[in-house]
């Protein structure tokens, strides 16, 4: 079996692993410091760690499990990375620049089984989950790229909105969140991290029970079951009533704002009537709700949805606003480099026939 990524271990897991092998507790601190503060690319760079410990780590872990296949930089500063995993699978990671900082969008699975009809990722069935190490490594690779530029830039925000359904890879997602949030490591604030789910209600309960204050986004995309089921088949298993019950539980536990993502598909879900239904659906907790209207990105010739027209988006937005719903429109970054999730990967797969 190949060695696993050391980035997959939380601080506690690494400490326990070292203690079990007769190492002193402070070793974990040292190793963690080299990994996340100094950001080494070889275990032998750990100057104050003795040779035996380095050998122990080298015998059991690796620092690199993926290679950079493609890197594209957009005029607006967005950088899209395509990484090749050990098994040849390709995943993508995107760095976006905002006025509030640098945000990285990570992938959690190779493909996705949820199969939303409008999504490029859903076209390619899930072939496997990513390990926690592979998710953390995406952040490390982007951070190391920034380090080489010498501008002292730091990844400050994370969105778990790349390919895959994060709640379908729950344990690895949680370990990833604990690693990147840890103040002994990258120390990325929980409030700067957002996890997006297609609505796996049972996992929203579990997530609400976790002791970490990361933001939750729910891909709603439709305000009634008939429409939602027609574009997201997951709605059969977790219809809107079930989802909203889970939302109630989450809000009660966390008292934190939830973002509802709503992709604007021309003539499908963008009528004024749907805006009114949406406002009604969330009106009872509108002080803890934010609707993010996402203009659809045409992704693939096999998917024939179109983006709603600007005036339609505007009307939808105003209809929500008039009803006291907080909302905004997310205009995309990196439009010139296929920045929509799944686009670069699906293009590359077609080109190279790797899957
Ligand atoms: N699986 C999770 C997270 C990844 S998808 C989820 O569905 O929430 C992240 C977001 O990108 C979702 O809101 C999804 O609807 C949106 N998305 C997918 N394909 C898109 C496209 N072609 N254009 C714009 N947004 C898209
Ligand atoms: Fe999967 Fe999200 Fe795409 Fe749906 S939108 S297929 S859940 S990645």
| Res 350: pLDDT | 52
Q: Which residues, at least 6 apart from 39, have a Cβ–Cβ distance to it below 8 Å?
A: 140, 143, 144, 147
Please tell me the predicted confidence (pLDDT) of residue 330.
86
Q: Are residues 104 and 247 in the same domain?
A: yes
10 lines ligand 1 (CB under 6 A): no
Q: Hey, whose CA ends up nearest to atom 10 of ligand 1?
A: 161
From the CB of 174, is ligand 2 less than 6 Å away? no
Secondary structure of 229-284 in the HEC alphabet? HHHCCHHHHCCHHHHHHHHHHHHHHHCCCEEEEEEEECCCCCCHHHHHHHHHHHHH
How many domains, in total, are found in the chain? 2
- Selection from 80, 77, 76 nearest residue 94 by Cα: 80
Would the CB of 112 count as within 6 Å of ligand 2?
yes
| Last residue in a domain, options 41, 62, 83 | 62
Domain termination site, one of 62, 85, 103: 62
Q: Which two tokens stand for residue 319?
A: 């209809």
Contact 155, 139 (CB under 8 A): yes
Query: First-to-last CA distance in the chain?
Result: 21
Report CA(119)–ligand 1 centroid distance (Å): 7
Task: Give the list of residues 6+ apart from residue 19 with CB closer than 8 angstroms, or none.
Answer: 25
Q: How far apart are CA 66 and CA 2, in angstroms?
A: 13
15 and 129 both lie in a single domain: no
DSSP 122-153: HHS---EEPPHHHHHHHHHHHHHHHHHHTS--
Nearest CA to ligand 1 atom 4: 161
Q: Which residues pair with 295 in a beta bridge?
A: 264
Q: Are residues 57 and 70 in the same domain?
A: no
Active site residues: 92, 341
Give SS3 for 58. Answer: helix
* Last residue in a domain, options 32, 62, 92: 62
The CATH code of the domain that includes 17 is: 1.10.150.530
Residues 87 and 225 in one domain: yes
Q: Which three-class secondary structure state does DSSP give residue 62? A: strand
**Residues 142-148: contacts with CB under 8 Å, at least 24 apart:** 142/79, 142/81, 142/93, 142/95, 142/104, 143/39, 143/186, 144/39, 144/41, 145/71, 145/79, 145/81, 145/95, 146/95, 146/102, 147/39
Do 306 and 157 share a structural domain? yes
Check if 300 has its Cβ closer than 6 Å to any atom of ligand 2: no
Pairing assessment for the beta strands 101-105 and 109-110 based on DSSP bridges: unpaired
- pLDDT digits (tens), the chain, 355 positions: 579 999 999 999 999 999 999 999 999 999 999 999 999 999 999 999 999 999 999 999 999 999 999 999 998 899 999 999 999 999 999 999 999 999 999 999 999 999 899 988 767 789 999 999 999 999 999 999 999 999 999 999 999 999 999 999 999 999 999 999 999 999 999 999 999 999 999 999 999 999 999 999 999 999 999 999 999 999 999 999 999 999 999 999 999 999 999 999 999 999 999 999 999 999 999 999 999 999 998 876 667 899 999 999 999 999 999 999 999 998 766 666 555 555 555 555 555 433 3
Domain holding 165: CATH number? 3.20.20.70
Tell me the ligand closest to 221's alpha carbon.
1
Same-domain status, 200 and 238? yes
Give the pLDDT confidence of 113-155 residue by residue, as tens digits.
998 999 887 677 899 999 999 999 999 999 999 999 999 999 9
Q: For residues 348 and 88, what is the distance between their CA atoms, to the nearest angstrom?
A: 12
How close is the Cα of 164 to the center of ligand 2, in Å?
6
Co-location of 174 and 295 in the same domain:
yes
Question: Could you give the CA distance from residue 126 to residue 131 in angstroms, rounded to a whole number?
Answer: 14
pLDDT at residue 271, as a whole number: 98
Rounded CA-CA distance 283/271 in Å is 18
Let me know whether 138 and 256 are in one domain. yes
Say yes or no: 156 and 20 in one domain.
Answer: no
Ligand 1 atom nearest residue 114's Cα? 1
Alpha-carbon gap, residue 265 to 2, rounded angstroms: 44
Q: What is the pLDDT of residue 115?
A: 86
The residues near 104 (Cβ < 8 Å, ≥ 6 apart) are 93, 94, 95, 96, 138, 139, 142, 155, 157, 158, 159
Tell the residue number behind the tokens 């976790």, with chain if given. Answer: 210
* Whether 39 and 173 share a structural domain: no
| Residues paired with 249 in a beta bridge | none
**Pair (76, 52) in one structural domain:** no
Q: What domain range includes position 180?
A: 66-354
CA 144 to ligand 1 centroid distance, Å: 27
What pLDDT is stored for residue 301 in this prediction? 63
Ligand 1 neighbourhood includes 197 CB (under 6 angstroms): yes
pLDDT of residue 120: 80
- Co-location of 22 and 134 in the same domain: no
Distance in Å, CA 298 to ligand 2 centroid: 15
């Amino acid at each position: 079996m190949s060695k696993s990524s050391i980035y997959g271990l939380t601080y506690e897991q690494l400490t326990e692993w070292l203690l079990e092998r007769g190492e002193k507790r402070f070793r974990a601190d040292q190793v963690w410091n080299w990994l996340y503060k100094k950001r080494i690319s070889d275990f032998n760079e750990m100057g104050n760690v003795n040779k035996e410990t380095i050998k122990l780590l080298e015998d059991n872990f690796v620092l690199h499990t993926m290679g950079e296949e493609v890197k594209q930089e957009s005029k607006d500063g967005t950088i899209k990375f395509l990484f090749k995993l050990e098994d040849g699978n390709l995943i993508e990671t995107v760095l976006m620049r905002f006025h509030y900082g640098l945000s990285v969008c990570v992938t959690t699975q190779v493909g996705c089984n949820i199969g939303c009809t409008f999504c490029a990722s859903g076209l390619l069935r899930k072939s496997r989950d990513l390990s926690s190490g592979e998710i953390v490594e995406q952040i490390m690779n982007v951070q190391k790229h920034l380090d080489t530029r010498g501008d002292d830039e730091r990844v400050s925000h994370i969105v778990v909105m790349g390919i895959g359904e994060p709640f379908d890879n729950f344990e690895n997602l949680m370990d990833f969140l604990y690693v990147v949030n840890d103040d002994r490591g990258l120390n990325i604030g929980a409030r700067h991290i957002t996890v997006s789910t297609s609505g796996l209600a049972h996992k929203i309960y579990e997530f609400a029970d976790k002791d970490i204050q990361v933001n939750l986004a729910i891909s709603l995309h439709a305000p009634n079951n008939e429409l939602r089921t027609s574009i997201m088949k997951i709605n059969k298993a977790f219809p809107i009533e079930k989802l909203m019950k889970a939302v109630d539980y989450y809000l009660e536990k966390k008292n934190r704002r939830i973002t509802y993502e709503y992709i604007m598909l021309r003539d499908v879900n963008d009528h004024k009537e749907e805006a009114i239904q949406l406002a009604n659906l969330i009106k009872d907790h509108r002080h803890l709700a934010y609707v993010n209207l996402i203009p659809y990105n045409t992704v693939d010739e096999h998917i024939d949805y179109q983006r709603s027209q600007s005036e339609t988006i505007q009307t939808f937005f105003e209809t929500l606003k008039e009803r006291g719903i907080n909302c905004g429109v997310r205009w995309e970054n990196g439009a010139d480099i296929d920045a929509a999730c799944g686009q670069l990967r699906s293009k590359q797969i077609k080109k190279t026939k790797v899957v």
